[in-house]
Structure 1
């Protein structure tokens, strides 16, 4: 069972693919748990839900029974790819929301980033064979909202430090926790390029992390993109 949310930098593989490669087990024996699961709240026994995905539906149901508690409610899925991509890309979008917050931008900007972040996550997911409906569920929209909105979110907190003008190194020291979005942004962007998918928020965040653009240039890059229909083909 994989609880990891990220994309490996060197291979651009998802966690379940790495597990399969390293252990030699078949893909239908690897399950993924993902969703809006801020660890501190779960440790306190506060209500939460998640998606447990496995290509073997019976295995998903077995794991669902094992981890179902009065305060933790798991739902099943067979869309491992969608669950893993939702859990990986939301960290990058949370960085963007944190950056906007640190720059003093308002709730409209946050809502825009969350919504358009979901759109680019879905585009990548569909291009990689995921079910688009996964991204409207717990492993998609649910995880995205929690990570982008909560002060407990490490990635949002890291982004806020960047928005205040701290360097990446200074933000790392201030956050003092692993921020998966920082490590995964470039790998996710590489997947987007490989599948010919536009991911403008991810692209700007990656450029900012590598100091290729300033904060003001990053904001301008997103707002000055050519206008287009809201619902574009994947």
Structure 2
């Protein structure tokens, strides 16, 4: 495995396409793998992924395939499918991944039903491979357009992290290596929960002061959760925590924020017409884990209960504002 290894990106949605695009534009040997042969052929012909990233040209050097077998021999494989699909993908693709292959998780969430981190899930399904995680503030369209973006790549060792950062970074896409896989993953997963909460505040017209208070108190909550899982609390003040939350908690490009706005306007999830967002799954999982471990997570608990319909927005705000006053 080296910085010049063959790279395969599994998942031709917006984020997978964007990551494949920047890696290929930087001179890498990159193949984007999608499930639908027709869509893959359309990308090969037009050099665009109009469904996921309309109007954005993809590099001439990027290769495409609907055959997962092309990932044989790849030194770096990016898993760019949703968090709840990671275990199934790892299990089905395991025969194609040689020992020592670096598998990079490009999803933000925890496994529903088990509450496990995605690194734990993939290490169980893919023993002998190097499992890393990519997270941080980066919208797919911005990345694919070549707009300046900085994110984090967390690996088991500093050496592996540095190699992956070099292999996947480009002139407009910078990855910072880390060894705190726990903190980086939980920052990426739970910032989606806090982004929903920011949306609720916006939808309920509670003001920017309330949003600022929620971001700061939410980060304190996230730090407690990270430390309880053996991660480093300071990680949440970086790109994969604060940076990602500022992006998804303020930009209307964020589906989690828009979902929260619908909750804030209508009081329940009934006002949302799209698919359930990652933050909704993460809120439920994290709230359950926090209860089991005795971690104080009032914002996460409130979001989970609003999403599942057992708490209305007005009551949730009242409960949060009347909690006992303690030291910050």
TM-score (norm 1): 0.93
Pairs within 5 Å for 1:1-234: 1-25=104-128, 29-165=130-266, 167-171=268-272, 173=273, 176=274, 179-230=277-328
- Return closer, same or farther for 1:209/1:177 CA change in 2, 3 Å cut-off: closer
Distance in 2 (CA, whole Å) between partners of 1:178 and 1:203 is 17
Larger Rg, first or second structure (1 or 2)? 2
Shift of 1:191: 1.8
Shift of 1:25: 3.0
Q: What is the CA deviation profile of residues 206-229 of structure 1, one whole-angstrom value per residue up to 9, with x for unaligned ones?
A: 111111111110110110101000
- Return closer, same or farther for 1:195/1:83 CA change in 2, 3 Å cut-off: same
Distance in 2 (CA, whole Å) between partners of 1:178 and 1:209 is 10
Distance in 1 (CA, whole Å) between partners of 2:312 and 2:268 is 11
Distance in 2 (CA, whole Å) between partners of 1:77 and 1:206 is 30
Contiguous gaps of at least 5 residues in structure 2? 1-103
- Return closer, same or farther for 1:74/1:42 CA change in 2, 3 Å cut-off: same
Shift of 1:55: 1.4
Query: What is the Cα-based RMSD across aligned positions, in Å?
Result: 1.3
CA contact (8 A) 2:132 2:155 kept: yes
Shift of 1:167: 3.9
Q: What is the CA deviation profile of residues 34-59 of structure 1, one whole-angstrom value per residue up to 9, with x for unaligned ones?
A: 10011121121110101110112211
- Return closer, same or farther for 1:114/1:211 CA change in 2, 3 Å cut-off: same
Distance in 2 (CA, whole Å) between partners of 1:122 and 1:152 is 26
Shift of 1:126: 0.8
Q: May I ask how many residue pairs the two structures share in their alignment?
A: 225
CA contact (8 A) 1:6 1:88 kept: yes
Q: Relative to total residues, which structure has the larger strand share, 1 or 2?
A: 2
Distance in 2 (CA, whole Å) between partners of 1:167 and 1:207 is 10
Aligned partner of 2:8 in structure 1 is: none
Q: What is the CA deviation profile of residues 167-202 of structure 1, one whole-angstrom value per residue up to 9, with x for unaligned ones?
A: 42541x2xx355101111111112212321100000
TM-score (norm 2): 0.67
Partner secondary structure for residue 226 of structure 2: helix
